[in-house]
Copies of this chain bind each other. A is one copy, B any other.
Amino acid sequence: MSKKVSEAVIRRLPKYYRCLCELEAEKIDRVSSHKLSQRMGFTASQIRQDFNCFGGFGQQGYGYNVTELKKQIRSLLGLGTSYSLIVIGAGNIGQALANYSGFEREGFKVNALFDNNPHLANHTVSGIKILHTDQLEEYLQNNLTDIAVISVPQQAAQEITDRVCQAGIKFIWNFSPRELKVPNDVAIENVNLSDSLYMLSYKIKNET
């Protein structure tokens, strides 16, 4: 069923998950769509509609059990299992992602870093070895990898993406400021930091 759910609804799931984690940390057992609405800024009817896309999670007029709802959304998000990642581009962002332990706690483990700078080869970041980009295909042939993180400079991003797709990668987390072309069966998720920063400069210019 979840295959037909719209992208907009799916994009709200991590926000529900985060809010429920906070509620659980505050030792709140039960929450109404109205209360969720106040915390999250979506309308209560939107929240109920979203949950209905997945078959609904609560009983009318009784609210949601926080722990149970969190568990169900966590499972919908595919969390609670492990995913293996590689990071291509061991620059600032690539190294920050490899260093960050928060993703590993949720099951996302970076198993290798790649960089085309030979001086970085065989260095490690948080215990993860940096390999030369030349070894990418060989690595992917021998190591089951779920997600390739692209954090190379913009001008190298499409070529690296083509190579990982060619090597069978189906999921890409893209940090390069570029719209990457991928085959139809490859999913790509973009984090464009400059787009986000430019929203602030737009507002500084136009709202002050």
Chain B residues with CB below 8 A from A147, complex form: 200, 204
CB of A199 within 8 A of CB of B18, answer no
Q: Is A14 an interface residue (CB 8 A)?
A: yes
Closest-by-CB residue of B relative to A187 is: B203
> CB distance A192 to B78 under 8 Å?
no
Q: Which of A61-100 contact B (CB under 8 A)?
A: 76-79, 81, 83, 92-93, 95-97, 99-100
- Tell me the complex Cα distance, A189–B95, Å: 23
Report chain B residues within 8 Å CB of A177: 18
Interface of A is mostly: helix
Q: Which residue of B lies closest to A40 (CB)?
A: B179
Q: Shortest CB–CB separation between residue A21 and chain B, in angstroms?
A: 9
Give residues of chain A (186-208) contacting chain B, Cβ–Cβ below 8 Å. 187, 189-208
A148 to chain B, nearest CB (A): 10
Closest to A10 in B: B202
- CB within 8 A of A201: which of B40, B83, B99? B83
Copies of chain A in the complex: 2
Minimum CB–CB distance for A104 against chain B, Å: 11
Contact across chains for A196 and B200 when beta carbons are under 8 A apart: no
In the complex the two chains form, is B96's CB within 8 Å of A198's CB? no
Q: How many residues of A contact B (CB 8 A)?
A: 61
| In the complex, chain A residues 107-130 whose Cβ is within 8 Å of any chain B Cβ | 107-108
Q: Does B189 contact A108, Cβ atoms closer than 8 Å?
A: no
A157 to chain B, nearest CB (A): 12
Contact A195 B93 (CB under 8 A): no
Cross-interface CB contact of A15 among B41, B95, B179, cutoff 8 Å: B179
A95 to B94, CA, bound (A): 12
Whether B191 contacts A83 by the Cβ 8 Å rule is: no
**A8-41 near B? 1/0 per residue, CB < 8 Å:** 0011011101110010000000000000000111
Q: Which residues of A contact B (CB under 8 A)?
A: 2-3, 10-11, 13-15, 17-19, 22, 39-41, 76-79, 81, 83, 92-93, 95-97, 99-100, 102-103, 106-108, 146-147, 170-171, 173, 177-179, 187, 189-208
